[in-house]
Chains A and B, each alone.
Chain A
Amino acid sequence: MHLTNEELIDYMHGELAPQQDAAVYEHMESCQACRAEYDAELAMTEMLRTHAREDERELPAAVKAEIWQRIRNARPSLWNRAASWVRPAVAVPVAAVIALAAYFGTSYMGPQGVPAIEAGYYLQDHAALNGTVPFNDRSVTPTDLMNAAPVDNQQAAVAVPPVEYTADVTH
């Protein structure tokens, strides 16, 4: 039983499974007809390679020049051109709207949007600042302010007793 030409072609291209490859090799060792057929297949491959080498051509300079010419003449596609026009046309109004919203938005939000500063916080802060002033005997500590009972200014003014200076007559 001879080898098929398919087996010989696959063997020549190294495309047989290892076992099959070994079997083909072994068979050709003892079969003159298959060896001759294999040599003929090899000869045709060699002919093809020789022909390819002889027929090899250089890349015509015109091909390269034409490629670069087409690229140099390239213009952005219709879509990209449209996009480049649309970009500033959309971006400028959008930026303007954002700027206006930022400007007016803050004043609109004023009394409702921004939470009023809590009186306690303000007082604490104010007192803390004053309390850090060294040697200021007029400083009030935050706790003084926080714990101070609401005082009616007018009443307080009346309630303040006049300072009495009494002379030490014992001396």
Chain B
Amino acid sequence: MGVPRKPIEPPTPEQAAFLERAIEQYGKATYNFAYRLTRNEADARDLTQEAFIRVYRAWRSFQPGTSFLSWVYRIVTNLHRDELRRKKGRYLDEIPEDNAPQDFGGSRPLAVTPIEDYVEGQLSEGLARSLEQLSPDQRQVIVLADIEEYSYQEIAEIMGCSIGTVRSRLHRARALLRRLIQKQQRR
């Protein structure tokens, strides 16, 4: 991953202590978040590293009393988005930015097979493959809402979009994930 590297100033003792504590407490969560977004260890390592360098540079802008993890996740999100833009030329959002609910025509879609029906190991493998097929934004909104359990408001702040966009992204991402999981089950 080629995140642009700006020059770094030598640390003050307070700055060094701040970074040490930040890595100690939130390094693992940040790395896991980065991995869930990228599905790739090398990219997750680079993202985590660059995110903490940004934390180091901007440590004075962190406001005590606010969520440090949300701040780091926002940094990771922006870095990831920049990286995708760089790779693709421009960042393509695959999800339309509308809040219209999905129309199932009054009939119920097929329910996903309950978790108990999965054979151990198949679950992770099948789900991992399904998650990989989602767009980065779809994957991120699912990670933040369903795994990290953030509110729509917090997700909107992390992803830099409106609550309505979070809502519609999550609805569509989950609907697509269900279809992909069902496809995996039929194999």
| Chain A contacts to B: CB under 8 angstroms | 1-2, 4-7, 9-10, 13-15, 33-34, 36-37, 39-41, 43-52, 54-60, 62-64, 66-67, 70-71, 73-78, 80
Contact = CB atoms under 8 A, between A and B. Distances in A.
A64 B27 contact: yes
Interface string B161-179: 0000001001100110110
Contact of A74 (B11, B27, B118): B11
Contact of A47 (B8, B27, B36, B127): B127
Most buried by A among B52, B106, B152: B52
Nearest to B103: A4
A6 to B, nearest CB: 4
For the residues of B in contact with A, the DSSP-based class is helix
A44 B28 CA distance: 25
B127 A48 contact: yes
B65 interface: no
A51 B102 contact: no
B23 A49 contact: no
Contacts of B11: 71, 74
B181 A6 contact: no
Contacts of B84: none
B101 to A, nearest CB: 4
A37 B110 CA distance: 8
Contacts of B113: 43
B52 A59 contact: no
A120 B9 CA distance: 66
A57 B31 contact: yes
A47 B115 CA distance: 6
Contacts of A56: 32
A45 B32 contact: no
15 contacts: A1-B106, A13-B145, A15-B151, A33-B108, A37-B111, A41-B174, A49-B146, A49-B147, A51-B123, A57-B31, A59-B27, A62-B45, A67-B23, A71-B53, A75-B10
Nearest to B121: A54
Contact of A67 (B52, B131, B178): B52
Contacts of A60: 31, 45
A34 to B, nearest CB: 8
Contacts of B106: 1-2
Contacts of A1: 106
Contacts of B104: 4-5
